């Protein structure tokens, strides 16, 4: 083997190693999973079925019907709040606004914020709330609907806390989490929506997920 050939071989190997190191691991898939079998080309193979967000139907600040299909082919970030909240919600909306601005040029990324106080948070009130934030309804949906369905979706689909609690100052308790959902409706990340560093990680992970999908 000539010295020149040997040197070129070493360079190729090193470059391959560098490229391998640059590849980031995929984001985890949250929630339960079930291993099943499916038939491929006449043979049974193992298949993993992951937890997904259940079908839902709500109304946003423009009185538009919002369902899972609204986010077809999109990555989205979900959270739970209420407009009269005086504790963590103001911090959450400041941080979610950062996510909104960071993804402004990404047509396949959206946001959905579910009110947990639908009796007070009317469509008109949600519209006013969105306008005060200066956000567009085609990218950030503030949704309302039946209280029980909102709570059930939070707890069983997003694994987030959302409920009435008369012992709390504002009468409700809810998670401050931001949930990152992929194009297959799977949870791919959970972040503290009141902590700037965690939201920085969310913004970065949106980019990672877009590359993956």
- In our burial notation (b when 16+ CB lie closer than 10 A, e otherwise), range 17-45 reads eeeeeeeeeebebbeeeeeeeeeeeeeee
The maximal CA–CA distance of the chain, rounded, in angstroms, is: 81
55: three-class secondary structure by DSSP: coil
CA-based torsion, 138, 144, 146, 150: positive or negative: positive
42/25 Cα distance (integer angstroms):
32
Which residue matches tokens 């990555």?
Answer: 75
Confidence of residue 15 (pLDDT cuts 50, 70, 90): low
DSSP 111-156: EEEEES-TTT--HHHHHHHHHHHT--TTTEEEEB--HHHHHHHHHH
50/34 Cα distance (integer angstroms):
7
Confidence of residue 101 (pLDDT cuts 50, 70, 90): very high
Answer with the residue of higher pLDDT: 82 or 4: 82
Domains of the chain: residue spans and CATH: 53-212 (3.40.30.10)
Convert the pLDDT of each residue in 71-92 to its tens digit: 999 999 999 999 999 899 999 9
- CB count, 10 Å around CB of 9? 11
Convert the pLDDT of each residue in 127-186 to its tens digit: 999 999 999 999 999 999 999 999 999 999 999 999 888 777 777 888 899 999 999 999
Encoding tokens for residue 30? 């949250």
210/213 Cα distance (integer angstroms):
5
Answer with the residue of higher pLDDT: 20 or 61: 61
Contact status, residue 194 vs residue 91, Cβ threshold 8 Å = yes
Give the model's pLDDT for residue 37. 78
Give the model's pLDDT for residue 213. 79
């Amino acid at each position: 083997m000539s010295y020149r050939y040997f040197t070129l071989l070493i360079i190729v190997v090193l470059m391959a190693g560098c490229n391998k190191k640059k590849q980031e691991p995929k984001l985890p898939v949250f929630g339960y999973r079930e291993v099943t079998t499916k038939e491929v080309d006449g043979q049974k193979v193992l298949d993993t079925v992951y937890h997904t967000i259940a079908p839902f139907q709500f109304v946003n600040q423009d009185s538009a019907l919002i369902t899972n299909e609204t986010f077809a082919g999109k990555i989205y970030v979900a959270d739970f709040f209420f407009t009269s909240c005086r504790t963590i919600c103001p911090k959450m909306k400041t941080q979610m606004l950062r996510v909104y601005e960071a993804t402004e040029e990404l047509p396949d990324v959206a946001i959905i914020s579910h009110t947990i106080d639908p009796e007070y948070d009317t469509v008109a009130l949600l519209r006013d709330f969105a306008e005060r934030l200066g956000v567009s309804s085609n990218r950030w949906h503030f949704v309302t609907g039946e209280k029980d369905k909102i709570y059930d979706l939070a707890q069983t689909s997003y694994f987030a806390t959302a409920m009435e609690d008369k012992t709390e100052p504002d009468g409700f308790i809810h998670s401050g989490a931001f949930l990152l959902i992929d194009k297959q409706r799977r949870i791919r990340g959970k972040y503290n929506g009141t902590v700037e560093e965690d939201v920085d990680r969310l913004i970065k992970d949106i980019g990672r997920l877009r590359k993956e999908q």
